[in-house]
Every structure is written in structure tokens, then in C-alpha cells.
Amino acid sequence: MKKIAVLHGPNLDRLGRRQPEIYGSDTLADLERLMRAEARRLGLTLTFFQSAHEGALIDRIHALTDRGIDGFIVNFGAYSHTSIALRDALAAAGLPAVEVHISDIKRREKFRRTSMTAGACVALISGQGFPGYLQALRRLAGA
């Protein structure tokens, strides 16, 4: 059974309260329930982690890689647009990763249109809402 880690960055713990006109009214807990159901269907095991701290996310990537995780689904929030360190951590892991953004980053503010971390991923899914995470699970199930 493949083990997939889902990593969320800053402000994703605020889903359901933060800018519902952009991110919707469902919460991070709702997303986790949705993903767990799809993972069961696909025969995957999931682990979740959310932090507002870049270093904590990097430490988690390293620890999960050392423990034998099979892949990552990441939404680093604003760090996606700025963090070479997170990109390097994913690249060093040498594992398939899919970056997901709930909103379409290409239609957002200019500073959000480029993802620094996507280059270390096998795919970028943007603007599909929560179903984008399910697409990412299906992609990793076949990877």
C-alpha cells in the first residue's frame, strides 16, 4: 500500500473562514475526510501535516522521506511562490510530488502566478478546488 504525505503551508488551517469567495466554505478537516475516502478507494494510506513555519515543513519532508513515504501532495500556500528551500527539500527527497492550489494561481495577483516549488513536482494542479487534491491522489496512485 503506497503511503502519501499531504503537506499544507500557512493559512490553510483557516480554510472555511479565510476568503471563502476564493477558497470556499469547507474546512481543512473537510478536505482531509474527502481525501481519506478517495485514498481508501485507491488503496493508499495518507498522513497529513500543516504548519505556518517553513522550517517545520522542510523538517517534515526530510523525516517522511527517511521513513519511507512514497510520495507527496503539497500546497505550501504563499511559500509556493517564494521558497527555494522547500523546492530543494522536495527535490532532494527524490520522490514524486504533486503541487495543488485550490484557486487558479495563474488568475491571481501577479506575485502568485509563479510557483517556485512546482519545479520539484511531477505535476501542478491549480484552480480545481478540493477536487484537485483527488486528482493528485489518482496521479500518485498510478505513479
Digit-coded pLDDT (tens) for 79-122: 999 999 999 999 999 999 999 999 887 877 787 788 999 999 99
pLDDT of residue 109: 72
Mean model confidence pLDDT for the chain: 93
d(CA 111, CA 133): 23
**Which residues participate in catalysis according to the annotation?**
23, 101
The CATH superfamily of 2-141 is Dehydroquinase, class II (3.40.50.9100)
Average pLDDT of span 21-46:
91
| The C-alpha cell that represents 72 in the structure block | 507527496
Distances in whole angstroms, Cα of residue 50 to Cα of each of 3, 12, 42, 47: 17, 7, 23, 11
Average pLDDT of span 40-53:
97
Q: Which carries the bigger pLDDT value, residue 26 or residue 67?
A: 67
Contact 88, 116 (CB under 8 A): no
